């Protein structure tokens, strides 16, 4: 889970998540932010979600991945 400079504007304010496979650290060479996804709490007022720890706040914009959903 992470936050970045787009949270609350272009993306959900509570942060997003990435699934990373680091089972073989020797082959881990990049992070694909295109797979950044919202937690369920971005889609419903009736659930709870974790917040990213402060050390997972990135000092730049991650413009890839899911954006703020439109809730009707």
Provide the pairing of β-strand 37-38 with 16-17: antiparallel
Structure tokens at 41: 């709490």
Q: What is the mean pLDDT of residues 15-44?
A: 91
Note down the domain range covering 23.
1-72
CA distance 15 to 12: 6
Residue indicated by tokens 């609350």: 8
The number of domains in the chain is 1
For the cut 80, the answer to whether the pLDDT of residue 18 exceeds it is yes
For the cut 80, the answer to whether the pLDDT of residue 51 exceeds it is yes
Predicted local confidence at residue 71, as pLDDT: 63
């Amino acid at each position: 889970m992470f936050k970045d400079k787009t949270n609350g504007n272009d993306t959900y304010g509570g942060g997003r998540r990435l699934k990373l496979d680091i089972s073989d650290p020797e082959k881990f060479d990049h992070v694909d932010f295109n797979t950044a996804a919202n937690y369920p709490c971005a889609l419903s007022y009736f659930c709870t979600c974790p917040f990213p720890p402060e050390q997972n706040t990135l000092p730049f914009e991650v413009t890839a991945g899911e954006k703020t959903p439109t809730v009707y």
